[in-house]
């Protein structure tokens, strides 16, 4: 027999949540909450990186908690200088923000720090990330985090050599874009982050989101392998290159990329900024049109997807 108990936990925007402890397993059940939390019977552990101008770590952390995972925020210096171990986690997250003030180009300085700074072990964080992925684990990056993953060469990583193959440049508008967009998922994409999603509304907040592909061969590989997993689209769900539906002029109307294995996923929009219906600027009209509409924000589905996928995979491997 297992002993069990309910423990009340406060989560941002949710209120009181009951955590059922059953031996070494757990599940979440929201009390008087509109959020339907994913039942997880094997712990899924999320690590959220912060520091040096990253500013979306709290929302990203909250997204994983709402999705039923255990989640922790750690300053990058704890990893780079103090030997904090990333390998006890299932998913590594690079949130949005303005790391190092977007100097040189957005995400470049942070990417170089990850690529070249030696850890106490003598390895680099990029070395450890390669081991992390080889163990079948996952990486997520939004906005500035996506820029970091691209400039590290982790996306799209067609060659498998972790060398940069695309970049993210200044928006065609020549200005910072802060607006809501519609995105559609590419049919056949392998990444579990987007499972079951066809179209999603999300906010964008960036000045350098225009994807440029280095050559035609790379472009063809991205298309043929469905690595351009998320595209800006119009209200009918058709990919668009027209501004402001496509807020930056990205090639392939790219809003997000995955790598060939589907383990790494990055996007310019901010799903962590749409965890509740009430995050949407038009929520009042949406609720009047559909009084039974879910009070979950559409962005939460991405986090629930990956937490569910990892939890199921870990349960099957036991």
> Which residue shows structure tokens 């879910």?
294
What is the DSSP secondary structure assignment for residue 276, as one 8-state letter?
B
Is 233 assigned a catalytic role?
Answer: no
Residue tagged 């997250």 (tokens): 93
Q: Work out the number of other CB atoms within 10 angstroms of the CB of residue 39.
A: 13
What token pair was written down for 190?
């392998």
Which of 180, 177, 178, 151 is CA-nearest to residue 166? Answer: 151
Catalytic residue among 56, 184, 270, 280: 270
Who contacts 185 (Cβ-Cβ below 8 Å, separation ≥6)?
194, 197, 198, 199, 200, 229, 230
Beta-strand relationship, 254-258 and 264-267: antiparallel
Domains annotated on the chain, with CATH: 1-33 (no CATH), 34-317 (3.40.50.880)
- At 69 the pLDDT is 98
280 is catalytic: no
Per the listing, tokens 């590989």 go with: 221
Q: How does pLDDT run across 159-217, given as a tens digit for each residue? A: 999 999 999 999 999 999 999 999 999 999 999 999 999 999 999 999 999 999 999 99
Which residue out of 143, 183, 229, 254 is catalytically annotated?
Answer: 143
Say how many C-beta atoms besides its own lie within 10 A of residue 303's C-beta: 28
pTM beyond 0.95, yes or no: no
Q: How far apart are CA 255 and CA 181, in angstroms?
A: 10
What is the phi/psi pair of residue 42, to 5°? -125, 130
Per-10-residue mean pLDDT of the chain, 318 residues long, equals 36 40 37 51 93 98 98 98 97 98 94 97 97 98 98 98 98 98 97 98 98 98 98 96 98 98 98 98 97 98 98 92
**Annotation says 272 is catalytic:** yes
Dist. CA 270–CA 299, nearest whole Å = 8
Q: Which of these is catalytic: 128, 165, 272, 298?
A: 272
Per-residue pLDDT, 47: 98
Q: Which pLDDT score is estimated for 36?
A: 56
pLDDT of residue 28: 41
């Amino acid at each position: 027999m297992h002993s069990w108990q309910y423990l009340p936990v406060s989560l941002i925007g949710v209120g009181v949540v009951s955590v059922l402890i059953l031996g070494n397993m757990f599940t979440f059940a929201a009390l008087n909450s509109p959020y339907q939390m994913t039942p997880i019977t094997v712990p899924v552990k999320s690590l959220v990186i912060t520091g040096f101008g990253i500013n979306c770590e709290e929302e990203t952390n909250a997204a994983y908690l709402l999705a039923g995972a255990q989640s922790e925020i750690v300053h990058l210096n704890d990893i780079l200088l103090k030997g904090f171990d990333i390998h006890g986690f299932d998913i590594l997250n690079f949130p949005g923000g303005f790391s190092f003030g977007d100097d040189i180009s957005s995400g470049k300085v942070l990417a170089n720090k990850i690529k070249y700074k030696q850890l106490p072990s003598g390895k680099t964080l990029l070395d450890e990330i390669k081991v992390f992925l080889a163990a079948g684990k996952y990486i997520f990056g939004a906005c500035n985090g996506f820029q970091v993953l691209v400039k590290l060469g982790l996306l799209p990583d067609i060659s498998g050599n972790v060398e940069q193959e695309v970049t993210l440049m200044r928006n065609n508008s020549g200005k910072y874009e802060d607006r809501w967009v519609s995105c559609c998922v590419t049919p056949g994409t392998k990444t579990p982050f987007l499972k079951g999603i066809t179209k999603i509304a999300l906010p964008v907040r960036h000045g350098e989101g225009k994807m440029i592909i280095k050559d035609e061969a790379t472009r063809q590989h991205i298309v043929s392998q469905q690595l351009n997993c998320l595209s800006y689209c119009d209200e009918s769900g058709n990919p668009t290159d027209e501004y402001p539906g496509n807020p930056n002029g990205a090639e392939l109307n790219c809003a997000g990329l995955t790598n060939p294995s589907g383990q790494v996923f990055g996007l310019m929009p901010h799903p962590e900024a749409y965890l509740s219906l009430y995050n949407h600027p038009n929520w009042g009209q949406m609720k009047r049109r559909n009084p039974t509409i879910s009070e979950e924000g559409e962005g939460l589905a991405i986090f629930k997807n990956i937490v569910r996928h990892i939890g199921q995979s870990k349960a099957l491997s036991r």
